Amino acid sequence: YKQLLAQGESVNLRAIYAEIAERDARDRSRSVAPLIPASDAVVIDTGNLSISDVQQRVSAEIAARFSFS
C-alpha cells in the first residue's frame, strides 16, 4: 500500500485486502499444487509479533525438534 502510494498510484486499502484474499483463496483451491501448509508444517502467526519475537519463536521450534551437539 505504502509502496504504491509512493509511486503515485491511486490505491484503496480495502480493495488491496480484498484482492489478496481472492488471490489466496484461488491459490488454496487450485487443483495443481494448491498453496497449503505441509502436514508437518509449523505455522507461526506473525501478525502481532515483532521481528525479534518471530526469531525467538522460530528458534524455539527448531530447538524443540532437533538436537544440536
Residue 57 and residue 27 share a domain: no
Residue 20 and residue 41 share a domain: no
Per-residue confidence band for 67, with pLDDT thresholds at 50, 70 and 90: confident
**Taking Cα atoms as reference points, which of 69, 64, 3 lies closest to residue 11?**
3
Residue 3 and residue 31 share a domain: yes
Residue 45 and residue 26 share a domain: no
Residue 23 and residue 48 share a domain: no
Q: Which whole number is the average pLDDT over 20-25?
A: 95
Parent domain of 45: 37-69
pLDDT in tens, 28-64: 999 999 999 999 999 999 999 999 999 999 999 999 8
Residue 69 in this model has a pLDDT that exceeds 70: no
pLDDT of residue 66: 87
Predicted TM-score (pTM) of the model is: 0.56
Residue 48 and residue 28 share a domain: no
Q: How many CA atoms lie within 13 A of 35 on its CB side?
A: 6
**Total number of domains constituting the chain:** 2
